Amino acid sequence: MPWTNNDYPNTFKNMTSEVRDKAIEIGNELLNQYEEPRAIRIATAQAKEWAGNRDIKIWEREPPAGRDQHVVPRDNGWAVLAEGADQATELFDKQSDARSRAGEIAHNQATHVVIHDADGKISDVVQP
């Protein structure tokens, strides 16, 4: 069942209305491809990325201090990048190694790992 402004996942609750609308839009498209929990995680990450690229406030109330860890492609491998950071935490030859390290960091900070595919598009979000 598609989400609306009156009926949406609890995860979207504290987002600003503009970002929540985008998360609902993205999430509804993802429901055709994924089960609801995965669609929610990816829609949340993509809406946050969309807002960040436009300097739009994401949260009505700021979440805890930990930052999601992104596994992103680089010219010669894969990087672990804290959300909002300009510089990679670490670089790896293999995505699996970057995912493992990002999982360790995210676990310690009680945050998520946002996995990007080789084209840089978000493909999954996991909680270690």
Task: Name residues of the chain where pLDDT drops below 70.
Answer: 62-64
Q: Is the pTM of this model over 0.75?
A: no
- How is the chain split into domains, by residue range? 10-53, 69-126
* C-alpha to C-alpha distances, 42 to 1, 7, 39, 92, 93, nearest whole angstrom: 17, 18, 5, 23, 25
Q: Say what the pLDDT of residue 78 is.
A: 98
Residue 35, number of CB atoms within 10 A of its CB: 9
Q: Say what the pLDDT of residue 1 is.
A: 73
Q: Say what the pLDDT of residue 21 is.
A: 97
First-residue to last-residue Cα distance in the chain: 28
**What's the order of all strands across the beta sheet hosting 69-74?**
90-92, 77-82, 69-74, 113-116, 122-126
